Homo-oligomer: A and B are copies of this chain.
Amino acid sequence: MRPVCVIGLGLIGGSVLRAASAAGRQAWGATASTVDADAATVDGYRVESGVDTALQLARERDAIVVVAVPLPALDQTLSAIAVNAPECLLTDVVSVKAPVEMAVRQSAPRTRHIGGHPMAGTSASGWIAGSAGLFKDASWVLTVEDETDLDAWREVAQLVLDCGAQIVPATAAAHDDAVARISHLPHLMAAVLAAVGADGGMLSLALAAGSYTDGTRVAGTRPELVRAMCEGNRGPLLDAVDDALGRLGAARGALASTGSLGATVEAGHRAWQDHTEYRNSRRSQDRIDLSSPDARETLLGLGQRGGRIVGLDGDFALTG
């Protein structure tokens, strides 16, 4: 098994380091945060003194490099990679994919890069919040583009499976559109809902029960994390916000003119049913031949249908 070098040891990076180690891989990390570095060392993990040293070791041992730094620290990390491990097998866990793809092409063009995004997390952060089991049964996007090297893809896929997750193949653009709708917009709506509720004063807060508490839960996430995530996906998020403004405006118009919220409430309920059915559905078990010339298309078709890859068997990816 290929060793793993994790740059950034917060919630996600720290959990990758733990999970890769638990899967029996040689693994080490580096981080600019002395708090995280100390905590990881105390927990018995190997933390190199600096990012450069960690990357030089990755080059020596032909490790997969996992970039788990916040988006604003990405460029600096990629520059370090270009110097210390310029041709490494590279993946990342940044929550937006097209901008990362572009940054890699610019700053570390000789790496074999596969973009990744584990759909797991908590509102807590830092090494201390992570665990080897964080990714258990979570969806983990791995990008597939026309030029994707499927040998590299398979190697990163094996690491993702070793972490306990299931792989959803998608283009970087499709990923960014989807997460704008189901992650970034929900954070923005939660912020708006929280503020409109609190504008009603203490009486409103005294009466707030399940619907407000559920609808505002992610407004408890640290603002700088929410901003980095949402602002980093500006174009797709603008589209999603426009859709939400359109639907909320239509509801307003209907309520004011006819007094009916039927269309809005029923569309929402149908969507909720779709999501619930999706979560309870059994997915078909197939094999995708990664050596076939149309493997990329087949992978992307699987992802578009909401399918996942749950295993690898030689040249074959197993769906389920």
Contact = CB atoms under 8 A, between A and B. Distances in A.
Interface of A: 119-121, 138-139, 141, 168, 170, 174-175, 177-179, 181-183, 185-223, 226-227, 230-231, 234, 237-238, 240-245, 247-249, 251-252, 255-256, 259-262, 264-276, 278, 303-308
5 contacts: A181-B212, A186-B197, A191-B251, A201-B306, A241-B251
A216 B259 CA distance: 23
A177 B206 CA distance: 13
A225 to B, nearest CB: 9
Contacts of A243: 196, 199
B269 A209 contact: no
Given A267-B195, A271-B216, A252 B261 contact: no
Contact of A247 (B187, B195, B206, B264): B195
Contact of A265 (B182, B230, B248, B249): B230
Contacts of A230: 255, 261, 265
A205 B139 CA distance: 11
Contact of A192 (B190, B218, B247): B247
Contacts of A190: 211, 215, 268, 272
B219 A269 contact: yes
A211 B183 contact: yes
Contacts of A247: 192, 195-196
A174 B207 CA distance: 11
Nearest to A260: B231
A267 to B, nearest CB: 5
A208 B276 CA distance: 11
Given A183-B208, A186-B215, A197-B275, 20 more contacts: A139-B206, A181-B199, A181-B212, A182-B207, A187-B211, A188-B248, A188-B261, A191-B268, A195-B264, A196-B244, A201-B306, A202-B306, A213-B275, A214-B218, A215-B217, A222-B269, A223-B262, A226-B265, A241-B255, A245-B252
Contact of A276 (B139, B220, B271): B220
B182 A271 contact: no
Q: Which 6 A-B pairs have the closest CB atoms?
A: A191-B268, A202-B306, A198-B271, A194-B271, A186-B211, A219-B272
B255 A308 contact: no
B178 A216 contact: no
